[in-house]
Amino acid sequence: MLEWYASTSRESFLRPKINMNTTDHHAGKPPRIVVIGSINMDLIVRSDILPQPGETHIGSDLLHSPGGKGANQAVAAARLGAEVHMIGRVGNDVYGDKLLDLLHDARVHTEHIHQTDDCVSGLAVIHVDADGENAITVVSGANGRLSPDDVELAEPLIAKADAVLMQLEVPLPTVCVAAEIAHRHNVLTFLDPTPAPPPTQALPPALLNVDWMSPNRTEAQLLSGKAIHSPQHAKLIGAELICLGIRNIAITLGNQGAVIVTSSGTVLHEKGFRVDVADTTAAGDAFSAAMAVARAENQPMPQAALFACACGALAATRLGAQSAMPTRSEVLELLQLH
C-alpha cells in the first residue's frame, strides 16, 4: 500500500469544514470549465518492470484507453460535476471518431474540437510496471495542429468560463494565447506544465502569470533547476517559482503527497491516503482538474487542496487515464472515510 495525494495530517482536521457535495456557486449552476489541450488514444502496456534502453521485456497485456492530458482533465472535471467545454483537435481517422464519441459520452462539450484531415490523432504508448509507475511516449499527431486561431475563435466561450485549464501537449503559442484571452476576461487560469521545458528554456511570461500551476516533482525540478528530495525542498522551490509571477503552485510528490504554496504566503503539505496503487498515469490530471473545479466553486484553498488530493488518490487506484477518473460521490466518500 502506498500513500497518495491526500491529507491525514492533524492540521487538516483543524480546518473549518465546508460542504463539498455541491456545485452551487452561481445561482445553483455548476462551474463552467474550458479545457485547451491534447486528445490521445493511449496504448497501455503492462509488464513487471519498465524496459531500459536496449532491453526487451514481455508485457502481460495491452489496453486501448482514451487519454491525452487535456481530455483526461476534461473528463475528470465533468465527473466532478462541472460543465466542461474542450478546445482541441483529433485526426480524421478511426481513433478521432472514437475519441469524440467517448468525450461526448463523458458529457464533455465537443463543439470546439476539430477533426484534422491528412493527420493522425494523437497517440500515447504507456508502459506501466508492477508498482504502478509509468513511462510514456507521445505522438502528437493532430494535437500539434491546434492553433492560436482555434483558440481565438472560441474567445466568447472562454470569456464566459469560471476557469481555463491548460497543459503543454499542444503548441506553446496556442497555450499562450489561451492564457492571454483568459486573463483579458478575468477568468481563472490553471496550467499543468507537462511536458515541462528544461531550465535553459524558460516558460513565456504569459504562462508564468497563471493563477495556478500544478507540476509534479520532475516538472518542478526542470522548471527550477533544483532537485526535490523532500516536501521541505518542495516548499522552498514552490516559493522560488512564486517569485517568477505564478500566483499559486501545487507540487505533487507521489507517495509524499502534495505541497501547496500561494503568493499570499500560505504553505501546506497535504500527506497521503493509503491506497492500493494500480497505475499513476492520470493521477496528476485528476488532481489538476479537481483543483480547478474546487477553486471555480470558491472552495477555500485548504479544502480545495484536500479535494484535489483525494481525487488524485482515487485515480491512482485504477488502470487507464479517463477510465480512472472518479466521480464526485466517490471523492466525497473517500474524504468521509478519513
Q: Residue 280 — left, alpha, or beta (φ > 0 → left; ψ -120 to 50 → alpha)?
A: alpha
Residue 51 lies in a domain: no
Q: What CATH number should be reported for the domain holding residue 291?
A: 3.40.1190.20
Q: Is residue 132 part of a domain?
A: no
Is residue 35 pLDDT above 90, yes or no? yes
Q: Give me the chain's average pLDDT, please.
A: 89
pLDDT at 135: 86
Share of the chain above pLDDT 90, in %: 69
Tell me the pLDDT tens digit for each residue of 246-264: 999 999 998 788 999 999 9
pLDDT score recorded for residue 200: 67
Let me know if residue 92 belongs to a domain.
no
Residue 261 belongs to domain spanning: 2-34+69-85+144-337
Phi-psi map region of 336: left, alpha, beta (phi>0 left; psi -120 to 50 alpha): alpha
What pLDDT was estimated at residue 27?
A: 52
pLDDT computed for residue 296 by the predictor: 97
User: Is residue 214 assigned to a domain?
Assistant: yes
Kindly tell me if the per-residue pLDDT of 23 is higher than 60: no
| Domain-embedded: residue 133 | no
Are 258 and 9 within 8 A, CB to CB? no
The reply to whether 285 belongs to the active site is yes
Q: Global pTM?
A: 0.87
Span 266-271, average pLDDT: 90
What pLDDT is recorded for position 132? 80
For residue 12, the model assigns a pLDDT of 33
Q: Is residue 44 a part of any domain in this protein?
A: no
Q: Give me the number of domains the chain comprises.
A: 1
- Which listed residue (162, 211, 279, 285) is catalytic? 285
Mention every residue, 6+ apart, whose C-beta is less than 8 A from residue 225. 199
Quick one: pLDDT band at residue 8, thresholds 50, 70, 90? very low
Q: Is residue 105 part of a domain?
A: no
What's the mean pLDDT in 1-30? Answer: 46
Specify the pairing of strand 122-128 against strand 134-139.
antiparallel
Does pLDDT of 14 surpass 90? no
pLDDT of residue 115 exceeding 70: yes
- Whether residue 91 lies inside any domain: the answer is no
pLDDT digits (tens, 9 = 90+) for 301-336: 889 999 999 999 999 999 888 999 999 999 999 999
Residue 44, pLDDT > 90, answer: no
With a pLDDT cut of 70, the percent of the chain lying above it is 91
pLDDT tens for 92-106 read: 999 999 999 999 999
